[in-house]
Amino acid sequence: MTVAKTPHDPGDGPGTGGPSGPLDGVRVLELAGIGPGPFAAMLLGDLGADVVRVDRPGGIPVAPDPRYDVTNRNKRSVVLDLKTPDGVERVLALAGRADILIEGYRPGVAERLGVGPAECHARNPRLVYGRMTGWGQDGPLADRAGHDIAYLAPTGVLGMIGEAGRPPAVPANLLGDFAGGSLYLVTGVLAALHHARATGTGQVVDAAVVDGAAHLSALIHGMLAAGQWQDRRGGNLLDGGCPYYGVHTCADGGHIAVGALEPKFYAEFLDLLGLPEFRDAHVDLARWPALREAVAARFLTRTRDEWTAVFEGSDACVAPVLSLREAPGHPHLAARSTFVEHSGIVQPAPAPRFSATPTAVRTGPAAAGSGAAEVARDWDLPDLLDPPDARTAPADRTAPADPTAPDDRISGATAADHPAPQRKADQ
């Protein structure tokens, strides 16, 4: 495989004037968390929204290294302490200027902190209040901690993935956190924003990983009802049960992905692989075991890159399985600038693409508090730069003064095991 160079994307960082995207002018307030919430806010920022992230003093202990946390690109940051009345008041002031708010606390935590939907809508009735959790805002497990793999498990989705006779495969946190969580949150808040602009009325968007992940399996449930899907792993057309739809090992330990479903693609696949005798086995399930063995044996005769060359330019629906470091160098991805380098980090470019309002990586990961002055100016909130109010002295707090003290103000995809701090007014 020929390796191409990853393009550099200068975006439109400070002092430049690059593309801003279709959400230019939309203001998003993100209450810092981890997992699907930050990714959703990044996606809105990639699309051109002005995203202001409210970081907490001391940061989030389990978060990625902030210097390399790409989910904080295309954002600005202010640091506010939600354990203090002054910090709460400043967040409410920001909510009063925002179009969308995103939070990922456990149900009830935002309310106890004083920044729940009622308080925010009192300041801004048009606000779209996006809530990102694993279990959702109600139900028997709503208050329970979890990570995305636990949210996938009861939906049936995790049980679909992997080989027959082996435990389900772990799909990183892409399927739960980001597909079932972030993408549904973004869809929800943008739909609600459309409604708010038409009616003047905001609303709460309850995005739960369990709901989104279950929704992703809609087609499979239809096939299951029709008798076209077996409720087990590795026994179906699209889960590796089919010998011409799956991943095969090559002579060098590399892998090739095959998806030759349609008859004409299947025929071309067999011809290039050198197995024309199996042409009539396309829908003959009795011959699939023999076909599987023959296909596996053939792929073991050459390296991944040698097979890539064999299938290059064909419609056999075959592609090499690349690593994360290899992917940016794939000729097609490089030609489309699917990956770019910005702030010294090779990363996926914004997606999708727009003909009239192109997007870009405008800025790198936002350092905590680095955007306070700009936000105070652009959102017309000069009080944001004032020193913290004296009323926030530790003696006035119910929560511990220690900024590392545990609380529940963490992403719905990875909730802490401690009750949320309560302010005196909430007790």
Q: Say whether both 63 and 171 belong to one domain.
A: yes
The verdict on residue 191 lying in a domain is: yes
On whether the CB atoms of residues 254 and 303 are closer than 8 A, the answer is yes
- List per-residue pLDDT tens for the chain, 427 residues long: 556 666 655 554 433 346 789 999 999 999 999 999 999 999 999 999 999 999 999 888 777 899 999 999 999 999 999 999 999 999 999 999 999 999 999 999 999 999 999 999 999 999 999 999 999 999 999 999 999 999 999 999 999 999 999 999 999 999 999 999 999 999 999 999 999 999 999 999 999 999 999 999 999 999 999 999 999 999 999 999 999 999 999 999 999 999 999 999 999 999 999 999 999 999 999 999 999 999 999 999 999 999 999 999 999 999 999 999 999 999 999 999 999 999 999 999 999 999 999 999 999 999 999 999 999 999 999 999 888 764 444 433 333 333 333 344 444 444 433 333 333 333 2
Identify the H or E element spanning 88.
Answer: helix 85-97
177 in catalytic set = yes
Nearest to 117 by CA among 204, 186, 207, 30: 204
Neighbours of 185 (CB within 10 A): 31
User: How many domains in the chain?
Assistant: 2
CA atoms within 13 A on the CB side of 178: 10
Hey, CA dihedral for 183, 185, 188, 192, is it positive or negative? Answer: negative
* CB neighbour burial string for 92-127, b if at least 16 within 10 angstroms, e if fewer: bbbbebbbbbbbbbbbbbbebbbbbbebbbeebebb
Q: Say whether both 163 and 237 belong to one domain.
A: no
Of 320, 351, 372, the residue that ends a domain is: 320
Domain that holds residue 290: 232-249+255-320
The verdict on residue 44 lying in a domain is: yes
The verdict on residue 405 lying in a domain is: no
On whether the CB atoms of residues 298 and 274 are closer than 8 A, the answer is yes
281 phi and psi angles, rounded to 5 deg: -95, 10
The verdict on residue 63 lying in a domain is: yes
Q: Say whether both 117 and 165 belong to one domain.
A: yes
The verdict on residue 425 lying in a domain is: no
Tokens of 3: 């390796």
Q: Say whether both 210 and 282 belong to one domain.
A: no
* pLDDT attached to residue 6: 62
* pLDDT attached to residue 170: 96
pTM of the model as a whole: 0.89
Q: Say whether both 138 and 274 belong to one domain.
A: no
On whether the CB atoms of residues 349 and 340 are closer than 8 A, the answer is yes
Of 320, 349, 374, the residue that ends a domain is: 320
Q: Say whether both 53 and 159 belong to one domain.
A: yes
Hey, CA dihedral for 17, 369, 184, 201, is it positive or negative? Answer: negative
Q: Which position among 46, 55, 148, 177 bears the catalytic label?
A: 177
Q: What is the spatial distance between Cα 105 and Cα 252, in angstroms, rounded to a whole number?
A: 46
Nearest to 363 by CA among 71, 145, 110: 71
Q: Say whether both 99 and 123 belong to one domain.
A: yes
Q: Name beta bridge partners: 249.
A: 255
* pLDDT attached to residue 409: 40
Cα-based angle 70, 73, 79 (whole degrees, multiple of 5): 105
Neighbours of 411 (CB within 10 A): 29
The verdict on residue 137 lying in a domain is: yes
Q: Say whether both 77 and 154 belong to one domain.
A: yes
Q: Say whether both 201 and 311 belong to one domain.
A: no
Cα-based angle 267, 269, 270 (whole degrees, multiple of 5): 65
Q: Say whether both 90 and 203 belong to one domain.
A: yes
Hey, CA dihedral for 22, 28, 34, 37, is it positive or negative? Answer: negative
The verdict on residue 334 lying in a domain is: no
Q: Which position among 121, 147, 215, 255 bears the catalytic label?
A: 147
For 121-157, the DSSP string reads: HHH-TT-EEEEEESS-SSSTTTT----HHHHHGGGTS
Q: Say whether both 96 and 178 belong to one domain.
A: yes
255 in catalytic set = no
Q: Say whether both 32 and 127 belong to one domain.
A: yes
- Backbone angle region of 332, left / alpha / beta, with phi > 0 → left and psi within -120 to 50 → alpha: alpha
On whether the CB atoms of residues 236 and 230 are closer than 8 A, the answer is yes
Give CA separation, 7 vs 4, 184, 334, in Å.
Answer: 9, 30, 7
**Which CATH number goes with the domain that contains 373?**
3.40.50.10540
Collapse the DSSP code of 73 into the 3-class scheme (helix H, G, I; strand E, B; otherwise coil) and give the result.
Answer: coil
On whether the CB atoms of residues 347 and 353 are closer than 8 A, the answer is no
Q: What is the spatial distance between Cα 273 and Cα 296, in angstroms, rounded to a whole number?
A: 11
The verdict on residue 330 lying in a domain is: no
Identify the H or E element spanning 220.
Answer: helix 218-225
Q: Name beta bridge partners: 52.
A: 29, 76
**Which CATH number goes with the domain that contains 286?**
3.30.1540.10
Peptide bond into 276 cis (omega under 30): no
